[in-house]
Amino acid sequence: MKKRQSNRPQMDESVHRSVFDEKTLRTDLLAMAEYDLRVRAELVATGAIFEGYNEKMAAVHEQNATKLERIVAAFGWPGVSLVGDDGAEAAWLVLQHAIGNPELQRSCLPLLKKAAELEEIPALQVACLEDRICVFEGRPQRYGTQFDWDEHAKMSPHPLQDQGRVDEHRKSVGLGPLSETTQEIRMRAAAEGHRCPRDLERSQKEKADWARSVGWR
């Protein structure tokens, strides 16, 4: 029987380097983030990124998350003093995209909070991760950083803990008004060719089922 060819992407050689070498840690993190964004751009160009959680994208997220786990185990959260501003941002992007690994995101949240207190990372990174965890767990978000299609076929924030104070919360972490961000998100979605699913109810159910399947709920 002919062996089935895997659709999983090959990891870049730069991403295979040892995570335990502090001298290459920043370079490794930048390579991981670049790999993620490059594959996403390829999938955006074909429209495949918008058809559920794409298998190829999920594989990239999984591979990067595995390596990030090893980095955190060896160094703690890689902040600015260890990997520079761009390295710290790359680490956050990888973590933010590790949606198939709930325990990694949950366990890193207190590490990010501590890093923000020490001014090793910006507070908005904590806010985004906190909101993302809330949304995947099926709870309202605090800062309004997570978006999806609503019943009016518009890209809108997921439910909020406190609509009246959301801009106050956003300002506390360096974010602008939610109304402005909403317009930016909608313009970006349109520019990328992202459209509301024809069967929104089914799409939402599939997302909830997936969240349960990986341990979010």
pLDDT value of position 55: 97
H or E segment and range at residue 157:
strand 155-157
Amino acid in position 114: K
Least confident of 1-15, 56-70, 108-122, 152-166: 1-15
Q: Where are the domains of the chain?
A: 12-121, 143-217
Burial grade of 99 (CB within 10 A; 0-12, 13-18, 19 or more): buried
pLDDT value of position 20: 53
156: β partners: 148
Work out the pLDDT band at 153, boundaries 50, 70, 90: very high
Residue among 44, 29, 104, 34 at smallest CA distance from 69 = 104
Least confident of 5-9, 28-32, 139-143, 159-163: 5-9
Residue among 131, 114, 125 at smallest CA distance from 90 = 125
pLDDT value of position 4: 33
Q: What is the mean pLDDT of residues 178-192?
A: 97
- CA torsion angle 88 192 102 57 (round to 10): -90
Q: What is the DSSP string of 111-156?
A: HHHHHHHTTSS-HHHHHHHHHHHHHHTT--BSS---EEE-TTS-EE
pTM above 0.85, yes or no: yes
Q: What is the mean pLDDT of residues 60-87?
A: 96
pLDDT value of position 5: 38
